[in-house]
Amino acid sequence: MGTKTLKEKIFDIAFWTVYFFCAFLIVGYLINSGFLKVVPAKDKIYEILKDALSISAAFLAPVAAFVLFSDWREQHRAIKIESESEVVYQELRKLFLTFKKSLLAIRTNIQDKNLFKEEEEKNKIHLDILNTTLSSLSSRMGNDAVKEFIEVVDEILEKYYKMYKIFDEIRLFHKYQVHQPNKELLEKQLPGLIEEHVNNISISQGEVLDILYIDIRRVYFLSTKLKA
């Protein structure tokens, strides 16, 4: 059964309030008329009517307040989910752009002493925002759409972490090349590391970029399911 809209909830409240009001009037009239044996005086009928209105109002006020508050809370939750999913999508797009820039840097600026420095600083900002937002979204894992969204994002981030681990190895090896010896790297026998990794990252064919772009587009389409 689907969730009722606010309009439908208000209609239900009105219906049951009128139903309760009419039921009270009938019961009150029956009691005061001795179950239709006598006709109640006008002042007695007025009193029954007044009591019915008072009790109906007492019933209506808290119920209406509860329904309106619940609807507002649901709307607020939906808007927050939509907003957070949009933040995640935008930060993934930014990560994609810095990822692309890092790939190009491997090919064209391998001698740059600041290789990946700018990208790493940007990525840290994007990842901090992503982790904070995902943590907030995770509290709503009971929502199937949110759960699927987070699972896909986690898959993408796992790919990012693997690729940047390779980038970090290349950066450290470059330091070794420019006479900044690193004992740990020497023990790993790093000669040829750059060639090995660069050859596995095909910029010309765009395989890595295409795969990540498709994944991020998938996140976008999943985020549309979370619209309020």
**Domain residue limits, the chain:** 6-226
Residue 219: CB atoms within 10 A of its CB come to: 19
Q: What is the mean pLDDT of residues 217-228?
A: 58
Task: Write the DSSP string, 41-106.
Answer: PHHHHHHHHHHHHHHHHHHHHHHHHHHHHHHHHHHHHHHHHHHHHHHHHHHHHHHHHHHHHHHHHH
Residue 167: CB atoms within 10 A of its CB come to: 21
Q: What is the mean pLDDT of residues 73-90?
A: 76
Task: Write the DSSP string, 160-204.
Answer: HHHHHHHHHHHHHHHHHHTT---HHHHHTT-TTHHHHHHHHS-TT
Residue 59: CB atoms within 10 A of its CB come to: 16
Q: What is the mean pLDDT of residues 143-160?
A: 78
User: pLDDT (tens digit, 9 = 90+) per residue, 155-164?
Assistant: 878 877 777 7
Q: Considering the chain, what is the average pLDDT of its residues?
A: 69
Model pLDDT, residue 217: 61
pLDDT for residue 228 is more than 50: no
Most confidently modeled range among 2-6, 66-70, 110-114, 197-201? 66-70
Lookup: tokens for 54: 């008072």
In this prediction the pTM is 0.49
Model pLDDT, residue 1: 45
CA distance 108 to 198: 11
